[in-house]
Amino acid sequence: MDRLVIDDLELKGKQVLTRVDFNVPVANGKVGDVTRIEAALPTIKKVIDDGGRLILMSHLGRPKGAVNAKFSLKPVSEKLAEMLGKPVQMASDCVGEAVRKQAEDLKDGEVLLLENTRFHKEETENDPEFSKELASLGEVFVNDAFGAVHRAHASTVGVTKNIKENAAGYLLLDEVKNLSRLIEDPEKPYVIILGGAKVADKLKVIRNLVTKATSILIGGGMAYTFLRAKGENIGASLLDEKSLATAFNTMTVANNSHPHRPVDFMLPLDHTVATGAKNTEFKTSENTTIEADWRGVDIGPATVAAFTEKISCAKSILWNGPMGIFEDDNFAKGTMEIARAVAAATENGAFTVVGGGDSIAAIEKAGMKDKISHVSTGGGASLEFMAGIDLPGIMALSKAKKKVPVKEKAVE
């Protein structure tokens, strides 16, 4: 990456403003999943160990520009203190005179967590004055919030216009390195597995990687838009009518992606289908056709077998999006089987990346999270990166300083 990195910065004695992604589940004042906090620890510990004065900022949820106790980062500060084994100060806001004094009073190696940046509407608007106020808290800036770098917000982009040195943290670097491996020169066979409900975002990924993939496996709610685009009956299944034409064109591009070996673009061969207000009645379809009043809720056994066969031969795998409504055990089998197949491929030497909140929840439910090469903390950011889109939070970082080669002294 041609951007400044945290190892390029002098941190000792400096106020190090650091954007992290602490958008974690909080219920009853307790943090649930600590994955994103754990992912930020290497950068946090680097600043502390180097004697920096660490000021952390993050958003949590969607408070829509208003203070809402439900979205306070206070439980996160308590969990972080527990994980670090040292105190973490909690600010009452992310801007203001009191917060600035709290930041200035930090001693080397101390940590301050600012309150939710999205309590101010100016955050998502990337307001210049708000950005300047945030930036005044730090002498250098580190962005380690990969999950937020696709947003041009005040805490990801605006602050960089007011601080001289802006660098990438270890998590951001790790994400870029691992995802780039599946874009630049992936080892073949390369299998891309896409699911979930949203079609539009993933169409961009397909278009960007179609010439590099060996197989593209489509499941989840998005599969029914592709099936309908092919003229299949999908009953009452989820359908994104606005994406029908693009889905059809994407399949055409896939079929013509290589003159000698077009990519295997695989849609479900069968489904678990359900009916009733609460999907109380369900069965396996005999083929791709879904009857009226029935909706697809998972891939069927024939599809699982076909997808697993492709996955088992892969050397590189990208997976984003579950194969069905996996939260319900009745409709989780397809997603669980794919999770096991991807984990088995990893064990056999494949490089595997799983991204997206639902996909991560799925591999956790299957007990396979520790058996994946790289679990990406960025949902939308991962998809946009894989689609080849320049992410504003990365582009805003300082360009890396060119190293001037040392001239050897001429031998007389």
Catalytic, out of 118, 198, 202, 333: 198
Question: 259 burial class (0-12, 13-18, 19+ CB within 10 angstroms)?
Answer: exposed
* Residue 82, token pair as written in the block: 């527990």
Q: Count the neighbouring beta carbons within 10 Å of the beta carbon of residue 190.
A: 21
Q: What is the helix (H) or strand (E) element at residue 358, kind and residue range?
A: helix 357-365
* Residue 261, token pair as written in the block: 């070996």
Asked if 131 and 105 count as a contact pair (C-beta separation under 8 A), the reply is no
R_g (Cα) of the chain, nearest Å: 23
Catalytic, out of 14, 19, 36, 118: 36
Asked if 325 and 224 count as a contact pair (C-beta separation under 8 A), the reply is no
DSSP string, 43-108: HHHHHHHTT-EEEEE---S--TTS--GGG-SHHHHHHHHHHHTS--EE-S-SSSHHHHHHHHTPPT
The 3-state DSSP class for residue 343 equals helix
Task: Look at residues 193, 177, 100 and name the one whose alpha carbon lies nearest to residue 139.
Answer: 100
The 3-state DSSP class for residue 39 equals helix
The answer to whether residue 380 is catalytic is: yes
The answer to whether residue 295 is catalytic is: no
Q: Count the neighbouring beta carbons within 10 Å of the beta carbon of residue 75.
A: 18
The answer to whether residue 51 is catalytic is: no
Asked if 53 and 15 count as a contact pair (C-beta separation under 8 A), the reply is yes
Catalytic, out of 51, 61, 109, 357: 357
Catalytic, out of 158, 321, 356, 380: 380
Residue tagged 């980062």 (tokens): 73
The answer to whether residue 109 is catalytic is: no
Question: 27 burial class (0-12, 13-18, 19+ CB within 10 angstroms)?
Answer: exposed
Q: What is the helix (H) or strand (E) element at residue 409, kind and residue range?
A: none
- Which residues are tagged catalytic? 36, 198, 357, 380
